[in-house]
């Protein structure tokens, strides 16, 4: 049986411990209690969440854990020397440690992320990097595996991380069955963006939304303003003006963002060559795609692919 410990700090968010449901449902699917789940705290007893609901916790002791997870808290003083000490000692006898959302700050404070790749909620990623310069923060990840250390992005990304743990432990079929029971995606790849280009653009009118949907369906083709305007049933001049007013971007910039997003997913999830991906996502060539990746992501396609393969190997 694999013991799973989740450290709850005062003021934790209830959603952060939702990851434990993944292990609970895995037990149902397997038909026996392969995961033994424990909610932990430094003092034990009732722990009050950020919304005011309290949960029962077990006090830290010398028990060994297969997996030790931690969430974060916005409460000043919630991260005590006792929590840091427990993490540093426990990691020596734990197969893997993990954080959900801003729990990455807890692992970083304990020194467990030094020299490692890690992620956290996109809204706190730059703060994490500034406070802990030894950490290799990647702000646009769903989750990252670097050796025995797993970190996930904000909120529901912890469920993706836990599903990946179950898949590694018990296989794809079990993880897929658990995801189905939880009514979530079986595999939202760790390297997948925390953002969606369409959501970031936030078009307000149906016409602009239709034009963007048309663009996403036809990324492999040349996409001119005239074509997009026709999809929106506007003149090119009206379309360009309305598009910028609603999204704050030019049509060309928006199309590039959609292409980068599509190319990035192919880079991470397929074995196609970079030249093939560039053609299939509408870039004129690999050089143009490389420049677009650097503008949007700060990294060339080769680095994106190398990181994805490293995660898959891990």
Across residues 148-167, what is the average pLDDT? Answer: 93
pLDDT at 311: 65
Across residues 171-197, what is the average pLDDT? Answer: 74
Specify whether the CB–CB gap between 247 and 200 falls below 8 A.
no
pLDDT at 195: 54
pLDDT at 229: 94
pLDDT at 281: 93
- Whether the pLDDT of residue 270 is over 90: the answer is no
CA distance 238 to 259: 24
Report pLDDT digits (tens) over 278-288: 999 999 899 99
Report pLDDT digits (tens) over 4-52: 999 999 999 999 999 999 999 999 999 999 999 999 999 999 999 999 9
- Whether the pLDDT of residue 71 is over 80: the answer is yes
Look at 74 and 183; give whichever has higher pLDDT.
183
pLDDT at 158: 93
pLDDT at 30: 95
Place of tokens 């296989």: 171
pLDDT at 307: 78
Q: Return the HEC string of the chain.
A: CEEEEEECCCCECHHHHHHHHHHHHHHHHHCCCCEEEEEEECCCEEEEECCCCEEEEEECCCCCCCEEEECCCCCCCCCCHHHHHHHHHHHHHCCEEEECCCHHHHHHHCCCCCCCEECCCCCCHHHHHHHCCCCEECCCCCEEEECCEEEECCCCHHHHHHHHHHHHHHCHHHHHHHHHHHCCCCCCCCCCCCCCHHHHHCCCCHHHHHHHHHHHHCCCCCCCHHHHHHHHCCCHHHHHHHHHHHHCCCHHHHHHHHHHHHHHHHHHHCCCCHHHHHHHCCCCCHHHHHHHHHHHHCCCHHHHHHHHHHHHHC
Bridge-based pairing of strands 67-70 and 96-99 is parallel
pLDDT at 223: 93
Across residues 64-79, what is the average pLDDT? Answer: 90
């Amino acid at each position: 049986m694999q013991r799973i410990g989740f450290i709850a700090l005062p003021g934790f968010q209830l959603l952060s411990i939702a990851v434990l449901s993944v292990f609970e449902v895995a037990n149902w699917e397997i038909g026996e209690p392969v995961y033994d789940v424990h909610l932990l705290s430094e003092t034990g007893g009732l722990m009050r969440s950020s919304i005011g609901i309290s949960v029962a916790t077990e006090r830290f002791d010398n028990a060994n854990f297969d997996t030790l997870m931690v969430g974060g808290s916005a409460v000043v003083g919630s991260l005590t020397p006792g929590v840091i000490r427990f993490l540093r000692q426990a990691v020596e006898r734990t197969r893997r440690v993990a954080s959900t959302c801003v729990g990455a700050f807890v692992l970083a404070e304990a020194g467990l992320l030094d020299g490692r790749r890690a992620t956290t909620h996109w809204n706190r990623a730059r703060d994490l990097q500034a406070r802990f310069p030894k950490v290799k923060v990647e702000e646009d990840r769903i989750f990252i595996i670097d050796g025995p250390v797993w970190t996930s992005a904000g909120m529901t990304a912890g469920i993706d991380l836990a599903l990946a743990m179950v898949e590694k432990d018990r296989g794809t079929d079990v993880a897929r069955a658990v995801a189905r029971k939880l009514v979530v995606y079986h595999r939202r790849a760790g390297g997948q963006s925390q953002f969606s280009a369409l959501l970031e653009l936030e078009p307000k009118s149906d016409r602009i939304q239709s034009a963007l949907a048309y663009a996403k369906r036809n990324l492999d083709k040349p996409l001119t303003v005239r074509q997009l305007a026709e999809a929106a049933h506007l003149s090119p001049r009206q379309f360009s003006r309305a598009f910028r007013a609603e999204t704050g971007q030019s049509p060309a910039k928006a199309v590039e963002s959609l292409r980068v997003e599509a190319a990035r997913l192919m880079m991470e999830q397929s074995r196609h060559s970079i030249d093939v991906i560039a053609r299939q996502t509408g870039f004129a060539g690999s050089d143009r795609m490389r420049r677009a990746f650097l503008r949007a992501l700060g990294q060339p396609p080769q680095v994106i692919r190398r990181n994805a393969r490293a995660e898959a190997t891990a």
